[in-house]
Amino acid sequence: MIKAIIVDDETNNQELISNLLKSYADNIQVVGLANSVETAYNAIMEHHPDLIFLDIQMPDGTGFDLLKKFDKINFKIIFVTAHQEFAIEAFKYSALDYLLKPLSPTNLIEAVKKVEESMSSEDLNLKLKILLSNMAEPIKNKKKIVLKTMERIYSVDIDDIIRLESDGGYTKVYLVDGKRIMVSRTMKEFDDLLIDVGFLRVHHSHLVNMNHLFCFEKSEGHLVMKDESIVPVSNRKKDQLLELLNML
């Protein structure tokens, strides 16, 4: 049985999460409710939960203020938040689970399932550090991203990524220091995440950081990156690429 605490300053949200868990996740036992940073801290110290449903905005601070009270987080977290574009973007980069209000049973079940299958406490603490760093740093090209392999979890500066290459259901990430990281995420996921921070999908299998572009060989139909790697450009992407280059 997984012991859980629900932290939310709205009673109706506490009740909604409790009822959804009873109906759809009977392996989770709610052992405590809290409506502030102070009451949440006391509940955690008393019950030692395995999982916390954590609201971000509370009367006496934020969910992040609560987490900063612990030297090491040894419980898992599902953040619960109203839709705020920048906050949601930060969660995606850090690969942490979150639920948007209003809550839905489907999303709750999916988040709980991910937590049950999820990472060690060491992974969680690194992901939280990246999340807090991204929340504090609004300059997009200074963001960090979590890259997870079977053996390791990496914290990578987005600006240090030169390009990404699809390899079946995996993606190879090429870094400025010459390292390659193979992650089990699709190119589509990275395209959605990085398209607004200077990356361009120039081919079905290739996503490049335009900040690391050296030149476009128009006659050859490929890009040369600053690390001298060659990236093909598909015919249907050439016009978009040329339009973007003319704007730079």
128-132, 136-140, 231-235: segment of lowest average pLDDT? 136-140
Q: Alpha carbon of 51 to those of 4, 68, 207, 218: distances in Å?
A: 5, 17, 36, 54
Q: How confident is the model at residue 202 (pLDDT cuts 50, 70, 90)?
A: very high
Whether omega before 105 lies within 30 degrees of 0, making that bond cis, reads no
pLDDT over 80 at 201, yes or no: yes
DSSP 111: H
Q: How confident is the model at residue 27 (pLDDT cuts 50, 70, 90)?
A: confident
Most confident of 54-63, 91-100, 125-134: 54-63
Query: What is the residue type of 21?
Result: L
pLDDT over 90 at 49, yes or no: yes
Kindly write down the DSSP assignment for every residue of 112-156, as one continuous string: HHHHHT---HHHHHHHHHHHHHHHH---GGG-EEEEE-SS-EEEE
Burial class (CB in 10 A: 0-12, 13-18, 19+), 211: middle
Q: How many CB atoms within 10 Å of residue 179?
A: 11
pLDDT in tens, 73-87: 888 889 888 766 656
Give me the half-sphere count of Cα atoms (radius 13 Å) on the Cβ side of residue 206: 18
pLDDT of residue 138: 55
Q: What is the mean pLDDT of residues 150-164?
A: 90
d(CA 54, CA 35): 10
- pTM of the entire structure? 0.58
Q: How confident is the model at residue 1 (pLDDT cuts 50, 70, 90)?
A: confident
Contact 133, 48 (CB under 8 A): no
pLDDT over 60 at 126, yes or no: yes
Q: Kindly list the structural domains of the chain, giving each domain's residue range(s) and its CATH number in brackets, ordered by start.
A: 2-136 (3.40.50.2300), 160-247 (2.40.50.1020)
- Segment 116-120 long-range contacts (CB within 8 Å, at least 24 positions apart): 116/2, 118/76, 119/148, 119/153
Q: How confident is the model at residue 141 (pLDDT cuts 50, 70, 90)?
A: very low
